Amino acid sequence: MATTDSTKQTLAQMGVDSPTKVASLFDDLRSAFDRDVAHEISSLDLEAARVKWLGRKAGILAEIGDNWLKPAAKEIKPAVGQSLNALKAHVEGQFTALAAAKDTAREQSAAARDQIDLSLPGVERAIGTRHLIRQTYEELERIFLSIGFRVVEGPEIETPYYNFEALNIPEHHPARDNMDTFYIEGSKAGHLLRTHTSPMQIRTMEKEKPPVRIIVPGKVYRRDNPDSTHGYMFHQIEGLAVDTDITFCDFKGTVEYFVREFLGPKAKTRLRPSYFPFTEPSAEVDATCHVCGGSGCRVCKFSGWIELFGAGMVNPAVYGCVNYDPEKLSGFAFGMGVDRLAMMKYGVGELPVLTQNDVRFLRQFP
Amino acid sequence: MKIVYNWLKEFVDATAPPAELRSRLSLAGVAVDSVEESAAGPVLDAEITANRPDCLGHYGMAREVAAIYRLPVKALQPKLKEAAIKASDATRVEIEAPELCGRYTARIMRGVKIQPSPDWLRQRLEAIGQNSINNVVDVTNYVMFELGQPMHAFDLDKLSERRIVVRRARAGEKIRTLDGVERALTKDMCVIADASRALAIAGVMGGSESEIGFASRNVLLESAWFDPITVRRTSKALGLRTEASYRFERGADPEMAELATRRAAELIQQLGGGEILSGVVDVYPGRAPAPSIELSRKELLRVMGADVPDRDIEEILAALGFHPSRTDAHRGTPGSLLAVWQCTQPSWRRDASRGIDLIEEVARHYGYDKFPPRLPPAKQPAHRLPHAEAQDRLRERVVALGYQEIVAIPLVDARRDEIFRAEGVAPAVIGNPLAEDASVMRSTGIVSMLGALEWNLNHGQRNLRLFEIGKTYELRDGEPVETAVLTLGATGLAREKTIHEAEREFTFADLKGDLDGIGKLAGRFGWQSGGPAWLAGGLASRISAGNSGALGVAGQLARRVADQLKLRQEIFVAELRLEPLLAGIEAARATEKFTLIPRFPAVERDFSLVLTDGVKFAQVADTIRALAIPELRSVEPADLFRGGKMPVGKFSLMIRVTFQSGETTLTDARIAECSSQIVAALESKLGATLRAS
Ligand SMILES: [Zn+2]
């Protein structure tokens, strides 16, 4: 039986003189390699084994080339060459496979050693937040921009004319009962803190010819003693669309579109007749109660509906103040309480939270 | 307005149960909040809008119900057993101020027994939230809630000369009202007087001197129409709101006045006996013909966008008392597009005087739900606010820097605002504040920012970075001026301790870095020393930006001010005017262009300089830049050192200079050449010396 020592001798010295003997010799060598390497893998000295077998000068395969192949007799030389190539391919293949296996094993043990506790937090960078009111405004703006509204802004300190008279609310109108007003001291024009964003309806129509299609976000003020639903200030978004062909049906379609976009495709809309001095016909816009889904609960006083905002067709009396022809033009207007919409949608229980600016609240809406 | 279900049904044969009535009324414009049980049966709590005083009585509500169910309203026909003596022989009524009192009717009853009311009357009054007093007073109340017509009963025997004069109050005149308060009257107010003195404030409240008591026998029943504006003014001036003033200021029905006295007399006779003198004393200077109103289908279609059948139009308007009749040439043709109806305004509907008012009446009773929704085509492009994109970028940047957005009420404490108000600024002061801490519109966002920081510090939150995009307010020559501002506030730790990192306090350098991060959007910010007195002297800074000039201030809150506001932590704040900042962002955006990324490596050289105190980093950088070395890329401060081995009056600054060429790899020789140029310049211009390292 051939051992690895045999590679130091020539074939002739070993009496190998036929292809059959060559084959048998190489088979023995291959078995020796397999045994050798199987042994080595457990002791992990792969590099030593590689040198022993594939070393350029003293490696076994190099010795075969020098001692067996070169001096081989002509008759067996091709057989020796083929067998040597086959053995070489086998040995190299095995070493590649073993090296890969060893790397994997090493990675696995390293991974086991370095396994991080993923329940620990990483290094979190402080990132700020936009206020919930701001986020709601952005949402509302996006909805109305998508149907051709333009955003405009106006002053918070207004004149009584724009806040009341031009909106068909003369001085002794009972509708002023719901709009207790803060007045500015020492202003010649009797300036006040606007009680709604509606003055921008007038300011816009004074400046622009129809078609007009605007929304007006902004702060408004009421002289109400603060409680869980009232504050000195809240946020509104006003809408106005005036043209030669705007009808109640357009008003209804716009409002329904808004409700679906804001509250989701399942939300239903109901228009309930109401009264505002600057719209006629007027309506309260109700939506399916977000708490019970319409079946009735305490929040909706068992009606299945929640009041969202007031709206209506522009009262022709308003056109008189802005030189619009009430016989040719028509339009609709609405005024939404943004705080109320945000509170409803995000379940904020009380109004003061929105302006206390407690970071524990601010962080809740990243 | 509370509606007793069974009372309502006395005037209309509606069979709908209360819950159904609730929802039908709500959908016709009378919002009913709830239905509750009472001793008088179910009670509906209805919200009556300011335009519908006619619904402030059960009879008026019955008209609405009748229109909803297309039923007739039952006529009210009180049956009186009248005595032979005429009321007009027992009293006299004179209206001296017809502009304040359009109608005054009086009925006289004699020998009435004043006593407690029977159960049914007490229960109904209690069901609508009214206390029972005595049968006569209760009846006047009852009739008001039945017909919407306020009434008053006088003790006839307490009237001087037993006559009524309706006049303006006299200068200095006083009256003690039923609530026991003595009230000073003015000549803008209307009073009911006898021959000598004011007995009642017209339409608001009676006086205690002529009040009905259990000893009263003879009664004068008043039912009148008073001018709404006068009643409203009077009621506001006296701070006295009553069920009567509530109705009169919204507009009572002048035609109802006489019927109400009949109804009241009938009930009083049933409950307290006595005799009713025949006839009514009725002075009616304000009588006016009923206006006619036109409704055309063309207009209805133009406003509503969808049609309503003739029959519905006519039934609804008829049920509401408008007596519609087709007057157009096509009246034989139902559904004609040219249909026109002439209607008459009922005396109880002064609110409805135009075609649009009738359209609303038809639409609400026909049902808003019957009009199909449609989205109007957009004819113009949608637009956000001018500068909205720049503001988005700004907000995005501030949020990325770790600041949380706040929204504050701009009404603030005047004394606090004053601390931060710039000299010469006239604040917008509230003339009628509800509280001292909300008595002025803020002159600066700093006030609100400190309020928000304070709230959080008082609630256990000590590491804060907040911002607000809001406005400041002031008066200039009596005209309001609103200025948009960005306000920043920070305190506590810039970085909290974690298992990975140590904690670090927020410092002025953090604020400056954050502001410069914002400034990068607008070219860059310039910084100058100095600022308002409420900032700590050494750190007070003014910020400017390119062409926009002065933008605002930044710094640390002066300890003196922080102590005054009981803020123990170091507080850092900044406020920038928004408009120039956004303009700067837009201008910078417009000029931003790509520059080629250099292919050749950059080389850094550090210079340890010893400088005289007072020399600023900017001078060093400017001196180097002035050399106009084409390969110069940047000059950065790398280390700053004072004290130790440094001689007094000197400090050490290490700067890191980066060179890079767009065309070639820099040679050591070229770097050395540039370096010696820099050292020479710094030595000659700033007296710098290189520090041996
Ligand atoms: Zn519900």
The predicted pLDDT at position B385 comes to: 96
What confidence category does residue A2 fall into, taking pLDDT thresholds of 50, 70 and 90? very low
**Of the listed ranges A92-106, B469-483, B560-574, B579-593, the one predicted with least confidence:** A92-106
Q: What span, in angstroms and rounded, lies between the C-alpha atoms of A139 and A147?
A: 13
Q: Which residues contact B564 (CB under 8 A, 6 or more apart)?
A: B419
pLDDT (average), residues B136-156: 96
Q: What span, in angstroms and rounded, lies between the C-alpha atoms of A60 and A70?
A: 14
The predicted pLDDT at position A1 comes to: 41
Delimit the CATH 3.30.930.10 region(s) of chain A: 132-362
The predicted pLDDT at position B267 comes to: 96
Q: How many CB pairs under 8 A join A and B?
A: 258
Task: Determine contact, residues A239/A260, Cβ cutoff 8 Å.
Answer: no
| Strand B479-491 relative to strand B464-476, pairing | antiparallel
Give the H/E segment covering residue B609. strand B603-612
**Domain closes at, from B232, B256, B283:** B283
What is the nearest CA distance from A173 to chain B, expressed in angstroms? 8
User: What is the CATH architecture assignment of A132-362?
Assistant: 2-Layer Sandwich (3.30)
Task: Determine contact, residues A315/A242, Cβ cutoff 8 Å.
Answer: no
In a domain, B229, yes or no: yes
- Give me the amino acid identity at B567: L
What confidence category does residue A150 fall into, taking pLDDT thresholds of 50, 70 and 90? very high
Task: Determine contact, residues B554/B485, Cβ cutoff 8 Å.
Answer: no
pLDDT averaged over every residue in chain B: 94
Q: What span, in angstroms and rounded, lies between the C-alpha atoms of B186 and A1?
A: 138
Q: What span, in angstroms and rounded, lies between the C-alpha atoms of A65 and A53?
A: 12
Contact B371 A313 (CB under 8 A): no
Contacts of B400 in chain A (CB under 8 A): 127-128
Task: List the single best residue of A146, A248, A284 to mutate versus B (max B Cβ within 10 A).
Answer: A248
ipTM: 0.91
Task: List the single best residue of A134, A145, A184, A327 to mutate versus B (max B Cβ within 10 A).
Answer: A184
**Domain closes at, from B69, B90, B115:** B69
Q: What span, in angstroms and rounded, lies between the C-alpha atoms of B115 and B216?
A: 10
Q: What span, in angstroms and rounded, lies between the C-alpha atoms of B622 and B616?
A: 10
Place of tokens 């021959």: B195
Q: What is the CATH number of the domain that holds B135?
A: 3.50.40.10
In a domain, B514, yes or no: yes
In a domain, B251, yes or no: yes
- Give me the amino acid identity at A113: R
Both B412 and B506 in a single domain?
A: yes
pLDDT (average), residues A259-283: 95
In a domain, B381, yes or no: no
The partner residue sitting opposite B432, judged by closest CB among A133, A211, A223, is: A223
Contacts of B34 in chain A (CB under 8 A): 301
Residue A118 has pLDDT above 90, yes or no: no
Both B149 and B241 in a single domain?
A: yes
pLDDT (average), residues A306-324: 95
In a domain, B375, yes or no: no
Residue A85 has pLDDT above 70, yes or no: yes
Rounded distance from Cα A136 to ligand 1 centre (Å): 22
Closest CA to B586 of B575, B578, B596: B578
Closest CA to B496 of B464, B458, B450, B453: B464
Residue A38 has pLDDT above 80, yes or no: no
Task: List the single best residue of B236, B358, B368 to mutate versus A (max A Cβ within 10 A).
Answer: B368
Q: What span, in angstroms and rounded, lies between the C-alpha atoms of A287 and A285?
A: 7
Both B237 and B355 in a single domain?
A: no
Contact A232 B434 (CB under 8 A): yes
Split into its structural domains, chain B has a count of 5
Both B89 and B228 in a single domain?
A: yes
What confidence category does residue A39 fall into, taking pLDDT thresholds of 50, 70 and 90? low
Contacts of A223 in chain B (CB under 8 A): 432, 434
Residue B80 phi, psi dihedral angles, 5° rounding = -110, 140
Rounded distance from Cα A288 to ligand 1 centre (Å): 8
The predicted pLDDT at position A43 comes to: 60
The partner residue sitting opposite B305, judged by closest CB among A189, A247, A271, is: A247
What is the per-residue pLDDT across B609-667, written as a single tens digit (0 to 9) for each? 999 999 999 999 999 999 999 999 999 999 998 888 888 889 999 999 999 998 899 99
Which two tokens mark B588?
């910078």
Q: What is the CATH number of the domain that holds B348?
A: 3.30.56.10
**Of the listed ranges A104-113, B220-229, B454-463, the one predicted with least confidence:** A104-113
Which two tokens mark B78?
């009180």
Contact A282 B34 (CB under 8 A): no
Residue A44 has pLDDT above 60, yes or no: no
Q: Which residues contact A119 (CB under 8 A, 6 or more apart)?
A: none
How many CB atoms neighbour CB B48 within 10 A? 22
Both B278 and B302 in a single domain?
A: no
**Domain closes at, from B255, B283, B311:** B283
Share of chain B above pLDDT 70, in %: 99
What is the per-residue pLDDT across A197-233, written as a single tens digit (0 to 9) for each? 999 999 999 999 999 999 999 999 999 999 888 899 9
The predicted pLDDT at position A11 comes to: 83
Both B677 and B531 in a single domain?
A: no
Contact B482 A225 (CB under 8 A): no
Both B558 and B633 in a single domain?
A: no
What is the per-residue pLDDT across B375-429, written as a single tens digit (0 to 9) for each? 999 899 999 999 999 999 999 999 999 999 999 999 999 999 999 999 999 999 9
Contact A362 B52 (CB under 8 A): no
**Whole domain around residue B608: which residue ranges?**
603-690
Q: What is the CATH number of the domain that holds B565?
A: 3.30.930.10
What is the nearest CA distance from A203 to chain B, expressed in angstroms? 16
Both B277 and B300 in a single domain?
A: no
The predicted pLDDT at position B386 comes to: 93
Give the environment of ion ligand 1: residues with CB less than 5 A. A 289, 291-292, 297, 299-300
What is the nearest CA distance from B208 to chain A, expressed in angstroms? 28
What confidence category does residue B161 fall into, taking pLDDT thresholds of 50, 70 and 90? very high
Both B457 and B514 in a single domain?
A: yes
Both B268 and B190 in a single domain?
A: yes
- Give me the amino acid identity at A100: A
Residue B17 has pLDDT above 90, yes or no: yes
In a domain, B314, yes or no: yes
Q: What span, in angstroms and rounded, lies between the C-alpha atoms of B455 and A168?
A: 41
pLDDT (average), residues A351-356: 94
In a domain, B626, yes or no: yes
Both B638 and B571 in a single domain?
A: no
In a domain, B377, yes or no: no
Task: Determine contact, residues B277/B80, Cβ cutoff 8 Å.
Answer: no
Share of chain B above pLDDT 90, in %: 91
Both B424 and B543 in a single domain?
A: yes
Task: Determine contact, residues B543/B527, Cβ cutoff 8 Å.
Answer: yes
